[in-house]
Structure 1
Amino acid sequence: MSDDDDLFGGTGETRTRLPERDGADGYGPARRSGRSAGRSPSRSVVTVVGVVVLLIAAIAFANRGGSSSDDGGDGGRGGGKGPEAASTAASGEKPVSGGTGGIPSGYSESEQGAQSAAANYAVALGSAEMFDKSKRVGILKAIMAPGSVDGFAADLDKAYNPAFFKNVGLNPDGTTPSGFQFVSRTSPIGTKVVEFGDGRATVEAWCGGLLGLAGEQSTKPVTSSWFTITMKLRWTDGDWKITTHSQKEGPAPVPGDDRASSSDEIAEAVEGYGGFTYAR
């Protein structure tokens, strides 16, 4: 038995019984059943206490792992195991020292700094502002190496065309139809350094995204997607900047059984919940 087993209650002193599912496995369509009429108050108390104990143990384990993030190991990237605590715990370093056009900048010249840059640049590339040419140019100048801006901007000018705008529900000029709210938002789930050295880094950012029109009778409702962005970064003028980037689908989890929200609920959420500054 490992130390981790002891830490998470592996000795048998605390046992938590989870509700059984009607489906054959964790990917079946079965929903969680409601509260059983025969469950006694004492069992509920024991279950709650058990969950709290596990949470406290998990927090303690994460804090213990975070203190060894600079031990020179592989950061939990190898061996076929799940990520170690050190690979997901906050580093304690200040993620950025400034910002350009609302986009965080001033990262450290380290693997953590490169991952922080990639995460925040993924947010910028997936924002609704990218659909506005004047704002798009400003974003590219803030996140890309100077020698890469013009070529990438020209490619995007071709990609953001009337046919593409129509496909996502916008007007031919890229503006939002009256009575609707356009939603385009990217949220990084995690990052991974693929290559690092000599002022260059290749970082993958696994992301979830939202795209569509919120509003009554929308024919392009807001939908979610999962994708991975690979960025090649170069240390330029004291900061990480993108030289090239690409995107592929997934990994995508099995969809849950959540009720789809109304267009008004989505619009209110997008207006009411701001984004984050991401940091490794």
Structure 2
Amino acid sequence: MSPGDEHDYRGKDQGGRPDDPYSTLGGTRQTRTRLPDGDGGLPHARRPVRNSRSLVTITGVVVLLIAAIAFANRGGGGDEDAASGTKKPGTVGSVPTAPTGTKPVQSKNGTIASGFAQDEQGAQSAAANYAVALGSAEMFTKESRRSIIQATHDPAVVAELQDSLDTAYSAAFLKNVGLNDDGSTPTGLTFVSRTVPVGTKVVKMETDTATVEVWSTGLVGLAGQGSTKPVTETWFTISQELKWVGGDWKISSSTQTEGPTPVNGDNRASTADEMAAAVDAYGGFTYAR
């Protein structure tokens, strides 16, 4: 993805367009594979040729699987507001993620956190958690994918999204990313698809709607001996449009752009076996502020 390129993950009724098969919705998340024209394979170690198609775009939401760099509070709050880490009603912006004294959510919808507060903190936590779920390897199997979409999205967009994703995750697509026809992983390999939020930012906040950006890094690929699609990293920012539905925040639409991307460090690339072992040993997180 070239810098500045933006993907539209809105639904068909909002002007969404098909785009890149690896964005935020599970492997479609921008833990995503950029597919070269005419090829659905995962990227190799080098940056692949960009393709404009994305499963998330086909569906009309991100994750997708997810906040931008924390910007200064643009709401014009006074020194007292800034010091306390709170903002006056109607203001937007971001403050460094820090303990708030509010306990993390305890309830779950399946394996996904739920019951977020109807405030900025709750909206940011929901956006980060949804980005993780929509960028997971579970998005590649039909049953678990449907459960994730049901748990993270506004019921008004779920049916169309489910149908779009079932079509997008075809046997041909799964084969191109190195998986079996049913989305399972070939014997001896470990499929990696993870979104890791780095920070969140509230762009707009109303009583029943919110726009939250999630700056994330992602991992995607096949780990293990004999893998021809090594695990690579990506950096992207997801902007989620959230709606307060049934006592919780749900995604109604989202967009995604590449970066901000840091300069690569001098770390030695791990072997395929080391990467597979790490994926098996280290689980993901539930994010809450």
Q: Could you tell me the TM-score, scaled by structure 2's length?
A: 0.68
**Does structure 1 retain, via aligned residues, the 8 Å contact 2:141–2:182?**
no
Distance change (3 Å), C-alpha of 1:71 and 1:145: closer
The residue type paired with residue 198 of structure 1 is T
Distance change (3 Å), C-alpha of 1:75 and 1:235: closer
Alpha-carbon deviations, 1:182-219, whole Å to 9, x = none? 11111100111111103001111111111111111210
1:247 equivalent to 2:247? Answer no
Using the alignment, how far apart are the partners of 2:202 and 2:187 within structure 1?
Answer: 43
Distance change (3 Å), C-alpha of 1:74 and 1:187: farther
Determine which of 112, 118, 129 is the counterpart of 2:138: 129
How far did 1:166 drift?
2.8
Tell me what 2:11 maps to: none
Distance change (3 Å), C-alpha of 1:71 and 1:247: closer
How far did 1:73 drift?
9.5
Alpha-carbon deviations, 1:119-143, whole Å to 9, x = none? 0000000000000011100111111
Using the alignment, how far apart are the partners of 1:109 and 1:138 within structure 2?
Answer: 23
Distance change (3 Å), C-alpha of 1:213 and 1:173: same
**Does structure 2 retain, via aligned residues, the 8 Å contact 1:75–1:87?**
no
Determine which of 62, 66, 69 is the counterpart of 2:85: 69
Distance change (3 Å), C-alpha of 1:133 and 1:270: same
Distance change (3 Å), C-alpha of 1:116 and 1:211: same
Tell me what 2:267 maps to: 258
The residue type paired with residue 69 of structure 1 is G
User: Runs ≥4 in structure 1, deviation > 3 angstroms?
Assistant: 71-77
Determine which of 185, 189, 193 is the counterpart of 2:198: 189
Using the alignment, how far apart are the partners of 1:106 and 1:229 within structure 2?
Answer: 21
- How does 1:111-190 map onto structure 2 within 5 Å? 111-190=120-199
Using the alignment, how far apart are the partners of 2:170 and 2:184 within structure 1?
Answer: 12
Q: Choose 177-186 or 111-120, whichever is displaced more.
A: 177-186
Determine which of 230, 235, 249 is the counterpart of 2:244: 235
The residue type paired with residue 235 of structure 2 is W
Using the alignment, how far apart are the partners of 1:165 and 1:209 within structure 2?
Answer: 19
Using the alignment, how far apart are the partners of 1:89 and 1:75 within structure 2?
Answer: 19
**Does structure 2 retain, via aligned residues, the 8 Å contact 1:69–1:75?**
no
How far did 1:180 drift?
0.7
Using the alignment, how far apart are the partners of 1:194 and 1:166 within structure 2?
Answer: 38
- Higher relative contact order (CA closer than 8 Å, sequence separation 6+): 2
**Does structure 2 retain, via aligned residues, the 8 Å contact 1:143–1:241?**
yes
Using the alignment, how far apart are the partners of 1:263 and 1:250 within structure 2?
Answer: 26
Alpha-carbon deviations, 1:17-54, whole Å to 9, x = none? xxxxxxxxxxxxxxxxxxxxxxxxxxxxxxxxxxxxxx
**Does structure 1 retain, via aligned residues, the 8 Å contact 2:237–2:260?**
yes
**Does structure 1 retain, via aligned residues, the 8 Å contact 2:238–2:256?**
yes
Task: State which structure, 1 or 2, has the greater radius of gyration over its C-alpha atoms.
Answer: 1
- CA RMSD after TM alignment: 2.2
- How does 1:3-152 map onto structure 2 within 5 Å? 68-70=84-86, 72=88, 77=93, 86-152=95-161
Using the alignment, how far apart are the partners of 1:72 and 1:148 within structure 2?
Answer: 32
Question: Please, which runs of 5 or more residues in structure 1 have no aligned partner?
Answer: 1-64, 78-82
How far did 1:171 drift?
2.2
Tell me what 1:11 maps to: none
**Does structure 2 retain, via aligned residues, the 8 Å contact 1:196–1:202?**
yes
